[in-house]
Amino acid sequence: MKSNLKYIVWAVVISLCFGSCKQTTSEIGRTPVLEVNGKFLYQDELKNIVPAGSSSEDSTQLVTMFIRKWVTEALLYESARKNVPNEAEINKMVEEYRKSLTIHNYLQVLVEQRLAKPTDNEISAFYEKHKQEFPLSENIVKGVFLKVPGTAPKLDKVKKWLKSGDAKSLELLDKYTLQHAANYDYFGDRWLYFSDFQKQWPSKIEYPKSFLESNTFYETADSSYIYMIKFYDYCLAESVAPLEFAQDRIRDILFNRKKIEYIRRIEEEIFNDALKNEVVTYF
């Protein structure tokens, strides 16, 4: 593919710039493909243009489009530099952006190196004070889902293990599912959106609230498989999200607050130190 791409690139270049290229100096160690007013397009810049498995026709089209765009932008930029009336203003904007980006990156490094993550106690305290601010947008559940062929052995025992949910039953269930399950999902230790669980269920559950309130274990079947679900816990939409579910969001909130305060403190210290050391001169 690499040799084909190399051939395609040079074929495209020849067709686009035959008779217009001029000999000039390129970077040592890089293979130039073409040159426009002293600006080079190098072969390594084209290596990711063509996806693996592309036909010669598609490859040629992609390379052609890229080269035409590159050449057009190079010429347009050159023309703009010569004719734009407010180049000084543009240079000022570029420098302002460079300054802002440099400061931002520097502060990010400081934050990552020096700012402590919120503790579990801080997260719990914030949750207790603000829990009403974290309503659930939809139902969430904990449980175990199992899909097995209708001909699978020991189904009575499987149902018993699933309903029990104790450590020994789950161990037996794990061993069983390795051989016989078409799908097995244990989410007893994490919250899952009910809508995500429904994607595994063979039919749409029309009234999730009633379904959850009425069933801790449920079983259904189609022509090929038996589906079983054991719910350990659930929370309904619009109720307060449990701490375990909300803690990642709270961690982000607290960290962002710490970050803002930390950056404000850095800025204040820099300014005060400048005054103290007479770095700033007022006229």
- Segment 148-175, tens digit of pLDDT: 999 999 999 999 999 998 999 999 999 9
Convert the pLDDT of each residue in 77-127 to its tens digit. Answer: 888 888 887 878 888 999 999 999 999 999 999 999 999 999 999 999 999
Rg over CA atoms, the chain? 32
**pLDDT at site 282:** 81
Neighbouring residues of 147: CB distance < 8 A, sequence distance ≥ 6 = 181, 182, 183, 184, 200, 225, 226, 227, 228
Domain tally, the chain = 3
| Phi/psi at 192 (5° precision) | -130, 135
Q: 253 and 231: one domain?
A: no
- Here the tokens at position 111 are 């934050």
- pTM for the model stands at 0.69
Pair type for strands 39-42 and 183-193: unpaired
* 140 and 224 belong to one structural domain: yes
Spatial contact of 113 and 201, defined as CB atoms under 8 Å apart = no
Residue type at 121 in one-letter notation: N
How many residues are listed for the chain in this entry? 283
Domain that holds residue 181: 136-235
Q: What is the pLDDT of residue 52?
A: 79
- Report the pLDDT value the prediction gives residue 18, as an integer from 0 to 100: 44
Q: Around Cβ 195, how many Cβ atoms within 10 Å?
A: 12
Domain annotation covers residue 63: yes
| Structure-token match 């947008």, residue found | 137
Judge if 156 and 35 occupy the same domain: no
**Is there a domain that residue 106 lies in?**
no
43 occurs within a structural domain: yes
Q: Is the pLDDT of residue 14 over 50?
A: no
Whole-angstrom distance, CA of residue 38 vs CA of residue 42: 13
Backbone angles phi, psi at 40, to 5 degrees: -105, 145
